[in-house]
Structure 1
Amino acid sequence: MTVAFSIALIIFSALMVLLVLLHKGKGGGLSDLFGGGMSSSLGGSSVVEKNLDRITIVVGSLWFVCIVVLGLLLKN
């Protein structure tokens, strides 16, 4: 059981990294260092960006659940 949740945590962690990197930079942060602040669009208004936000929230929630379950399994 622990191995299954560990593998799921690794997969969800990799997905989180990819999903966060796919987001458009909104400026004011590290994205300005790499030219992310150059766009004039405010971002987040397109259907693709909204779907990406939803997918990121779902994967982040599953990632959090895996961490909590692994913590409970390893505590015993």
Structure 2
Amino acid sequence: MSVIEFILQVLLGLTSLLLTLLILLHKGRGGGLSDMFGGGMSQAMGSSGLAERNLNILTIVLALVWFFSIVGLGLITKASVL
């Protein structure tokens, strides 16, 4: 196993866990887990939802890192088979 492959596997594991956590923090139709951490209060107080927008951006960036680590591991695996 090469160093790059190891780094990509660790990155994939970390981003998978963080992505799961961030998705659970999003506000759904019923409020979701974000209400437990004060997400519902910001909506009730009439704020602009800045925390929700930042959470969306962070989730998208993390999903892109997750996607590219999977593609990188796939390319390394395909190259090692040939």
TM-score (norm: length of structure 1): 0.75
Structure 1 regions of 5+ residues with no counterpart? none
Q: How many residues align?
A: 63
Whether 1:73 aligns to 2:41 is no
How far apart, in 2, do the equivalents of 1:22 and 1:7 lie? 23
Report the Cα distance in structure 2 between the residues aligned to 1:6 and 1:15, rounded to whole angstroms. Answer: 14
Offset at residue 26 of structure 1 (A): 2.2
After TM superposition, give the deviation of residue 12 of structure 1 in Å: 0.4
Q: Give 5+ residue unaligned stretches, structure 2.
A: none
Bigger share in helix = 2
What residue number does 2:25 align with?
A: 22
* Stretches (4+) displaced over 4 A: none
SS of alignment partner, residue 9 of structure 2:
helix
Distance 1:55 1:61 in 2: 10
Counterpart amino acid of residue 51 in structure 2: V
1:2 aligned partner: 5
TM normalised by structure 2 equals 0.69
Q: Which amino acid aligns with 2:19?
A: M
Superposed, 1:21-40 pairs within 5 Å as 21-26=24-29
Instruction: State, as a whole percentage, how many aligned pairs show the same letter.
Output: 41
CA RMSD of aligned residues (A): 1.8
* Structure 2 letter corresponding to 1:67: I
